[in-house]
């Protein structure tokens, strides 16, 4: 499900870039180095990077005991690795413009979106300098032009079909109460 959300964002952003006559495959995921299990940002791209998953503090856990749901938010970083700085700022600006005009996604406005994702809202995240430094230190990179967004709300367990069914056994007990 998380994969579906990130692929949707990447594909929607690439469609937007293509509509502007920019490279329609500019948005991509980082590569994973199998030897170190660390990611490597792809050069010449807008790298789409999941950096945090959190339980939605407002929606939290819902549903029923037999069909619980959990709502999560995904924090996604869009890192531009185009070597020409002016071009990287252009891609960064267009990424911000795209999400400013596409603040929510649903199957009606994003036909390639899986219906099971429901509605996703996208909002920019503003870091203070210390948090931004910590984020880049965590990724062992120097700062590159980037912008972060929170994708709300991804629902897990939204239907009974997502939960494996196990038979429920009943036991009849007869209890005698002694005076």
- Note the pLDDT of residue 6: 95
Centroid of chain to Cα 115? 16
Which pLDDT tens digit goes with each residue over 91-104?
Answer: 999 999 999 999 99
Domain that holds residue 44: 2-161
Q: What does the alpha-carbon distance between residue 116 and residue 103 come to, in Å, rounded to a whole number?
A: 19
- Note the pLDDT of residue 55: 84
Kindly state whether residue 54 falls inside one of the protein's structural domains.
Answer: yes
Kindly state whether residue 170 falls inside one of the protein's structural domains.
Answer: no
Cis, peptide link before residue 95, omega less than 30° from 0: no
Task: Give yes or no for a contact between 46 and 78, defined as CB atoms under 8 angstroms apart.
Answer: yes
Flag residues of the chain having pLDDT under 50.
Answer: 160-179
Hey, what are 163's tokens? Answer: 């939960």
Kindly state whether residue 168 falls inside one of the protein's structural domains.
Answer: no
- Note the pLDDT of residue 115: 79
- Taken as a whole, the chain contains a residue count of 179
Kindly state whether residue 38 falls inside one of the protein's structural domains.
Answer: yes
The closest of 49, 46, 44, 45 to 32, measured between CA atoms, is: 49
* CATH number of the domain within which 50 lies: 3.30.2000
Kindly state whether residue 134 falls inside one of the protein's structural domains.
Answer: yes
Q: What does the alpha-carbon distance between residue 147 and residue 67 come to, in Å, rounded to a whole number?
A: 36
- Note the pLDDT of residue 98: 96
- Note the pLDDT of residue 78: 96
- Note the pLDDT of residue 60: 53
- Going by the DSSP 8-state scheme, the letter that residue 161 receives in this structure is G
In the chain, the number of structural domains is 1
Hey, what are 100's tokens? Answer: 């400013």
Kindly state whether residue 109 falls inside one of the protein's structural domains.
Answer: yes
Kindly state whether residue 176 falls inside one of the protein's structural domains.
Answer: no
> pTM of the predicted model, to two decimals?
0.79
- Note the pLDDT of residue 63: 57
Hey, what are 105's tokens? Answer: 């996604």
- Note the pLDDT of residue 5: 94
Kindly state whether residue 178 falls inside one of the protein's structural domains.
Answer: no
- Note the pLDDT of residue 72: 87
């Amino acid at each position: 499900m998380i994969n579906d959300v990130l692929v949707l964002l990447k594909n929607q952003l690439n469609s937007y870039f293509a509509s502007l006559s920019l490279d329609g495959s500019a948005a991509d995921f980082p590569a994973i180095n199998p030897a170190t299990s660390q990611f490597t940002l792809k050069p010449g791209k807008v790298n789409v990077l999941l950096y945090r998953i959190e339980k939605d503090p407002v929606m939290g856990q819902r549903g029923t005991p037999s069909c619980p749901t959990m709502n999560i938010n995904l924090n996604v970083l869009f890192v531009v690795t185009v070597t020409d700085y002016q071009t990287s700022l252009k891609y960064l600006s267009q990424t911000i413009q795209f999400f400013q005009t596409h603040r929510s996604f649903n199957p009606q406005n994003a036909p390639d979106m899986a219906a099971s994702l429901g509605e996703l809202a996208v909002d920019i995240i503003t870091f203070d300098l210390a948090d931004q430094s910590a984020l880049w230190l965590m990724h062992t990179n120097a700062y590159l032009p980037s912008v972060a967004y929170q994708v709300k709300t991804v629902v897990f367990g939204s239907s009974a079909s997502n939960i494996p069914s196990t038979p429920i056994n009943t036991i009849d007990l007869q209890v005698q109460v002694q005076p």
